[in-house]
Amino acid sequence: MFRNMSPRYLDLWETGELRWRAKRAKTMLEECRLCPRRCGANRLLGEKGVCRVNFLAKVASFGPHFGEEAPLVGWRGSGAVFFSGCNLGCTFCQNADVSHGGVGETTSTERLAEIFIDLQGQGCHNLNLVTPTHVLPQILDALDQAAERGFELPLVWNCGGYESEVALELLDGVVDIYMPDFKMSNSEATKKYLRADDYPEVVKAAVKEMHRQVGDLELDDRGVARRGLLVRHLIMPEGIAGTKEVIRFLAEEVSPNTYLNIMDQYRPCHDAVKDPVLGLEPHRNLWKHAVETARRAGLRVDGG
Ligand code: SF4
Residue identifier of the C-alpha nearest atom 3 of ligand 1: 49
pLDDT category, 269, cuts 50, 70, 90?
A: confident
159 within ligand 1 shell (Cβ under 6 A):
no
- Given a cut of 70, whether residue 282 has pLDDT beyond it is yes
The answer to whether the Cα torsion of 155, 144, 41, 83 is positive or negative is positive
120 within ligand 1 shell (Cβ under 6 A):
no
35 within ligand 1 shell (Cβ under 6 A):
yes
The CA radius of gyration of the chain, in Å to the nearest whole number, is: 18
Query: pLDDT per residue over 99-147, tens digit each?
Result: 888 899 999 999 999 999 999 999 999 999 999 999 999 999 999 999 9
Cα distances from 299 to residues 14, 68, 74, 173, in angstroms, run 36, 19, 22, 25
Closest CA to 43 of 32, 35, 59: 32
Compute φ and ψ for 245, nearest 5 degrees.
-70, -35
Helices (H), the chain: 9-15, 17-27, 70-73, 96-99, 109-121, 136-148, 165-171, 187-193, 199-214, 243-249, 284-296
Residue 263 to residue 184: CA distance in whole angstroms: 13
Compute φ and ψ for 181, nearest 5 degrees.
-75, 150
207 within ligand 1 shell (Cβ under 6 A):
no
Residue 172 to residue 271: CA distance in whole angstroms: 36
Distance 45 CA to ligand 1 centre (A): 14
227 within ligand 1 shell (Cβ under 6 A):
no
Taking a C-beta distance cutoff of 8 angstroms, is the pair 158, 132 a contact?
yes
- Given a cut of 50, whether residue 162 has pLDDT beyond it is yes
The one-letter amino acid at 276: P
Closest CA to 156 of 7, 15, 1, 34: 7
Residue identifier of the C-alpha nearest atom 2 of ligand 1: 51
Mode of pairing for the β-strands spanning 127-130 and 155-159: parallel
Residue 122 to residue 103: CA distance in whole angstroms: 25
Here the CATH number for the domain that contains residue 224 is 3.20.20.70
**Does residue 94 or residue 109 have the better pLDDT?**
109
Q: Can you give the pLDDT at residue 277?
A: 92
29 within ligand 1 shell (Cβ under 6 A):
no
115 within ligand 1 shell (Cβ under 6 A):
no
What share of the chain has pLDDT > 90, as a percent?
A: 89
Q: Lowest mean pLDDT of 14-23, 76-85, 99-108, name the range.
A: 99-108
Q: Lowest mean pLDDT of 52-61, 95-104, 287-296, name the range.
A: 95-104
Taking a C-beta distance cutoff of 8 angstroms, is the pair 280, 238 a contact?
yes
The range of the structural domain enclosing residue 24 comes to 3-303
- Cβ–Cβ contacts within 10 Å for residue 37, how many? 22
Q: How many structural domains does the chain have?
A: 1
Q: Can you give the pLDDT at residue 303?
A: 61
**Does residue 271 or residue 234 have the better pLDDT?**
234
Distance 89 CA to ligand 1 centre (A): 12
- Given a cut of 70, whether residue 304 has pLDDT beyond it is no
Q: What is the mean pLDDT of residues 68-97?
A: 94
- Given a cut of 70, whether residue 2 has pLDDT beyond it is no
What's the whole-number average pLDDT of the chain? 95
Query: pLDDT per residue over 221-261, tens digit each?
Result: 999 999 999 999 999 999 999 999 999 999 999 999 999 99
Query: pLDDT per residue over 170-215, tens digit each?
Result: 999 999 999 999 999 999 999 999 999 999 999 999 999 999 999 9
Q: Can you give the pLDDT at residue 1?
A: 41
39 within ligand 1 shell (Cβ under 6 A):
yes
Distance 244 CA to ligand 1 centre (A): 30
Taking a C-beta distance cutoff of 8 angstroms, is the pair 59, 82 a contact?
yes
Q: Can you give the pLDDT at residue 159?
A: 98
